[in-house]
Structure 1
Amino acid sequence: MKILYYVSSHGYGHISRSYEIIRKLVTSSAVHSVTIASDRIDFIQDNPAKISLRKASLDVGVFQRDSISLDIDVTLQHLEAFEKNKNSLMEAEAEYAIQEDFDLILSDSASLPFIIGIEAKIPTIFIGNFTWDYIYSNFGKYNPNFSVIANILKIEYSFATSAFILPFHCPMDGFMEMHKVGLVGRRSNLDKESARAKFNFNKHKKYFLFSFGAYGLKDIVWNWESIPDDWIIVCSELAGFESDQILNIPQTYYPDLVRAVDFVVTKPGYGIISESIYAETPIIYTDRGDFAEYPHLVQTLEKSHPSSYISQTDLLRFSFSECIAKIQDTDRNKLTKLALNGESDILALILQIF
């Protein structure tokens, strides 16, 4: 089986989880190869057998000023330009899929690959926890053109042969066939003590990992003087987040860092939530703008993992004490356990259906 796997270029969450799925797929003798098509292929640093990389972008996503604020106007401009050129892109991708003789097309989470599949007569699978029509329909209150585009995308999604739905999912009613799968995400092979030793963490200090993904934290004024002496702010090459009070740990396997720290400080996104759950590291989360996925992430997060909300005002002051107290008071026995190992679920479903 030759698989063409389209991955959204929006942030890092799509490519990080998709790569975990792909690594699982190529362990099967039934899978001959997987071609990853994305603008985020630079995220992949190794060179595994049976996997090839191809630069391509089949969705717009949402443009962001930084990781906690959206740029709605720029998003619409790019969406409208994409729609104008969509037919030629679809035809070129369908011709490529036919020439390369792919047996299956997967998409996390663009809608256009399902039209490509119809054109190339290749079955298709959606993988994700939201669809872009759901995100853009929420923006219709800012400009009606978002609603028009959302309706187009919803039709495109309906052509998927099947849909594999991840945890933390938004409403999805446009697919003909749906299967719920377990959590997908990167994970560390280290226990907590070994991870802390890897980074030479001091057992008498609390470590807070600031994890704000692909878009960084730009032009934000932080109250560095308010950080207690026994708290250490940690990041790994976070754009725009600079101070001599930050412990920056570059070029490391990120799930090991998530495992090592005491708390992850973030805006809710699928990738960092899944990695924190696998690492068993509590989350302090803040707002991320009017992104329709947010309430669904937060709702499941609060039911299934030690976590606490912090306002952006308190975030800038590093006022974590109340969040820490809430997390420490969490009765973990009352938390809902999520289904894990979604990568294995997906491989099993593909082998069963196709």
Structure 2
Amino acid sequence: MKTLAYYISDYGYGHATRSTAIIRELLKQNEAVQVIICHSFALGFLQQSFKHEPRVTFREVATDVGYVLQENSLEPDAKRLNNTVSSYVSEFSTKLNQEMCFMKEKNVSFVISDISPLGISSAAALNIPSFGLSNFTWYTAYEGLIEEHLLSFLHEQYKQMTYHFSLACSNEPH
């Protein structure tokens, strides 16, 4: 049995919904695959979606920051976003070590990420192949909103992907 760790962005339900369809297809295509979903925000939705699937297990972990919006608005709050991303980056090495321990313990052989940098970096540190899929990364989503050193940090994490599949409407650099 091959074990895949599937990291899903914690921002909203879109990533979780898309990932649900992809995970179902992965399980249908290969009976020798089990999936560990790594996520927190929409974990209840995901657990309900796979409640009858014994090859799917769950690991509650904050995978990324997402957007921080102004109160009563759909506009980003750049100051709060900078603070939140800065905190995420300062804690990243601790989270990275936790994920590496998890991957070793569960004998993870492949990582899919939609589109958390945490799973990608952890996989790279252990020489496990990773596959990123999304129509954006948080690097491009945050351009013009957060400080350059924070953007650079995210860019470095995403550069570690073994494979990347850009979905429709992607503006990601190659």
* TM-score exceeds 0.5: yes
1:152-210 CA deviation, whole Å, 9 max, x = no partner? 1111111111011111212322xxxxxxxxxxxxxxxxxxxxxxxxxxxxxxxxxxxxx
Partner of 1:41: 43
- Paired AA for residue 63 in structure 1: V
8 Å contact kept, 1:130–1:172: no
How far did residue 11 of structure 1 move?
1.2
- Paired AA for residue 167 in structure 1: A
Partner of 1:12: 13
Distance 1:92 1:8, change over 3 A: same
Partner of 2:64: 59
Q: Under a length normalisation based on structure 2, what TM-score does the superposition of the two structures give?
A: 0.89
Distance 1:31 1:60, change over 3 A: farther
8 Å contact kept, 1:136–1:149: no
More contact order relative to length (CA 8 Å, sep ≥ 6): 2
* Equivalent residue runs for 1:93-132 within 5 Å: 93-132=99-138
Q: Secondary structure at the match of 1:87?
A: helix
- Paired AA for residue 33 in structure 1: Q
Partner of 2:94: 88
- Paired AA for residue 136 in structure 2: F
Partner of 1:170: 171
8 Å contact kept, 2:166–2:172: no
Distance 1:31 1:164, change over 3 A: farther
Partner of 1:134: 140
8 Å contact kept, 2:82–2:145: no
How far did residue 102 of structure 1 move?
0.9
* Equivalent residue runs for 1:319-338 within 5 Å: none
Percent identical among aligned pairs is: 23
8 Å contact kept, 1:131–1:172: no
8 Å contact kept, 2:6–2:37: yes
How far did residue 63 of structure 1 move?
1.2
How far did residue 131 of structure 1 move?
0.9
How far did residue 82 of structure 1 move?
1.0
- For this pair of structures, how many residues does the alignment match? 168
How far did residue 127 of structure 1 move?
0.8
How far did residue 28 of structure 1 move?
2.1
Structure 2's unaligned 5+ residue stretches are none
Q: Secondary structure at the match of 1:139?
A: coil
- Distance (whole Å) between structure 1 residues aligned to residue 135 and residue 82 of structure 2: 22
- Distance (whole Å) between structure 1 residues aligned to residue 109 and residue 72 of structure 2: 38
Structure 1's unaligned 5+ residue stretches are 174-354
